[in-house]
């Protein structure tokens, strides 16, 4: 099967819609400034990008995670995080909720995931965690939908 041809590159999108890029970056910055761990944010962005099949975002966030010196095991096993012992309870709660917020249709899973998030995150952290999931879902829909090619 052949690869889809890029409708536009990320740089093309940035030039065409700078205000969208700026708004999305602002959401990401707010999450980072909230005190949430940067490696946790990257971990959920990687998992959501896997679920949504966005090669551009997956590669981009793997590069960022490596720059944060995340352990290789966490990056290698994120697709199977439930079966891997290298994730903390906090990371597991975030990953489960990220999956539930990405799928949206399983309301039971959503309720269970939210209850677990409430055990491991403060009420002040939860909106920023949800915003991180929301913005990577938006980026994924742009990247996959417009067929952004992975960088280099």
Which pLDDT value is given to residue 5? 65
Q: Where are the alpha helices (DSSP H) in the chain?
A: 10-16, 18-33, 38-52, 55-67, 72-77, 89-103, 107-120, 126-145
CATH of domain 18-145: 1.20.1290.10
Domain residues of the chain, as ranges?
A: 18-145
- Give the C-alpha distances (Å, rounded to integers) separating 60 from 42, 87, 113, 151: 10, 21, 26, 8
pLDDT digits over 127-144, tens only?
999 999 999 999 999 999
Which pLDDT value is given to residue 134? 96
What sign does the dihedral 105-139-59-87 (CA atoms) show?
negative
Query: Could you say which residues of the chain have pLDDT below 70?
Result: 1-6, 152
* Residue owning tokens 């799928």: 103
Which pLDDT value is given to residue 8? 83
Distance CA 133, CA 77 (A): 19
**What global pTM score does this model have?**
0.93
């Amino acid at each position: 099967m052949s690869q889809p041809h890029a409708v536009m590159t990320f740089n093309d999108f940035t030039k065409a819609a700078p205000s969208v890029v700026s708004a999305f970056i602002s959401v990401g910055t707010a999450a980072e400034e909230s005190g949430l761990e940067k490696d946790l944010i990257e971990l959920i962005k990687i998992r959501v990008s896997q679920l949504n099949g966005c090669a551009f975002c997956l590669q981009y966030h793997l590069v960022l995670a490596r720059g944060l010196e995340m352990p290789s095991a966490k990056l290698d096993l994120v697709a199977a995080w439930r079966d891997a012992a290298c994730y903390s309870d906090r990371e597991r709660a975030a990953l489960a909720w990220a999956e539930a917020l990405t799928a949206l249709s399983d309301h039971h899973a959503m309720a269970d995931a939210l209850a677990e998030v409430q055990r491991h995150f403060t009420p002040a952290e939860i909106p920023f965690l949800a915003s991180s999931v929301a913005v990577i879902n938006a980026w994924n829909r742009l990247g996959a939908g417009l067929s952004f090619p992975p960088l280099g």
